[in-house]
Amino acid sequence: MNTRKLVYLFVSTLLIGASSGAIIGILLDTETYFSGGFFNFFFGLLWMFGMSAAISLVAQMGYFAYLTLQRFALGVFKSVRLWNRIQVVLILFVLFDLIYLRYIAFATDEETLWGYVLMPVLLFLYCMAVAFQKQKETNKETFVPALFFMFVVTTIEWVPALTVDIVNDTKWLWIYLTPLLTANTWQLLTLHRLTRASQQNKG
């Protein structure tokens, strides 16, 4: 990996995360953006793009933090299988917490636990699909680490939105989550392609 490819990964991830967040933000609140004329739309779009760009930067920091954790864990446990089993346990723990702790924190008397199941399950299924794609493009040993990164690390990055009352609104939860998901998906599925291209060029 040379500097040019690292810069490409950084800039492309930033733009993809920011653009996806801006698009979702507008689609989920069209009345606010389209009811006040061109300048209202333009500055609203600019604000949403900037906020989503900041969120995508968090995703980039999370990705490189996970790459460091992966190296450290493999050095400590000396076994890919053991580390993968630990990651599976953590994935299940986070899935449970993402449903139950949000229910405990935000549910009203009229709401049931089932109302807090849909979003975590959809997120988990999406992360599974990305992990399968990663496995398809690399090897079977990458499935669990990919799923761990997509689900656990994305959830950790999502925590600020999950713990603030004002954003316990489905619209804002998706606005915060979308840049994280798109940025993390792009990073996960792009890095090995860039690395592979570098190795081929050396060969």
Place of tokens 């300048």: 39
pLDDT tens, position by position, 43-93? 989 999 999 999 999 999 999 999 999 999 989 988 899 999 999 999 999
**Structural domain contains residue 26:** no
**pLDDT range class, residue 201, cuts 50, 70, 90:** low
Domain count across the chain: 1
d(CA 115, CA 124): 16
Mean pLDDT of the region 138-145: 93
Q: What domain range includes position 190? A: 57-202
